[in-house]
Amino acid sequence: MVVVTLMWSIAGVVTRHLDSARSFEVTFWRSAFTVFALAVLLPAVRGPVAALRALHEGGRALWLSGVCWSVMFTAFMLAITLTSVANVLVTMAVAPLLTALIARVFLGHRLATRTGVAIAVAGVGIAWMYAREVSAADSRQLIGTIVAAAVPVAAAINWVLIQSSRHAASRDLLPAVLIGAVISAAVTLPLSLPFAASAHDLALLALLGVVQLAIPCLLSVAAARHLSAPEASLLALLEVLFGVAWVWLDAGEAPAAHVIGGGALVLIALASNEFITLRERAR
């Protein structure tokens, strides 16, 4: 799972080295390369017959999960072309808390007091981060953070959907990642024309599609078989630290003071909640 977060975290720094590809074109090429990679990897992992059967028998849950993946793929890449990588990653980090809220409403899961406190503290951190941008009337940064907020919302819905499908042993939702990549590529294709990406850009976007998305998605599924949900959530926070460090060291994108302060509150709230959960499960 640590390797997975390390692979996920390279998106921001790689995007900062693109020559001419921008916005929707960046999203299209990454999603398109992810489609090509998963079209090879999924049959290799599941077997050609099992992969086709999963697509045919997945039902509504599979396609709803695919839509969630497409929102995550598209919103993430658009957001990091509009605002800082730190803003996007910290916003994404609230997904576990949103998941707890949505699971409480739709699945009837009990919301622990500590989780409620963590949600409140994280909310303060997010408000601290974004109040500066709203007051400064920086429309580009503000739009970027709003787009980034779609990622944890879609991720939370997707996780609750997966949780609700766990009792269907024959249902394989891994192909939903492929469906999401196809939808993302199809939606952003007309918005990407005319293409401006150089050969250098295409090489970097292929790297993102294969190494930053397709492979770690498969590895995360394998890791999830051996980790509890709190452990996976806690380790996933490493993506925020790795991602901010990459762009700070390699692209000179130092996070602003209000992002560091608000982001620290969010990460402390998340880490504390997951750590207490692990301690309770261990007892």
Six token digits for residue 190: 């007309």
Instruction: Annotate 53-90 with three-state secondary structure.
Output: HHHHHCHHHHHHHHHHHHHHHHHHHHHHCCCCHHHHHH
Sign, CA dihedral 107-110-115-119, equals positive
Cis bond upstream, residue 255 (ω within 30): no
pTM of the predicted model, to two decimals?
Answer: 0.81
Q: Residue ranges per domain, the chain?
A: 2-282
Instruction: Render pLDDT for 207-264 as a digit per residue (tens, 0 to 9).
Output: 999 999 999 988 887 776 676 666 676 677 788 888 888 888 887 877 777 778 887 8
Instruction: Render pLDDT for 9-60 as a digit per residue (tens, 0 to 9).
Output: 899 899 989 998 888 999 999 999 999 999 998 888 877 777 777 777 777 8
Buried b (16+ CB within 10 A) or exposed e, 241-255: ebbbebbbeeeebeb
The Cα–Cα gap between 272 and 56 comes to: 41
Compute the C-alpha angle 196/9/122, nearest 5°: 115
| SS3 call for 1 | coil
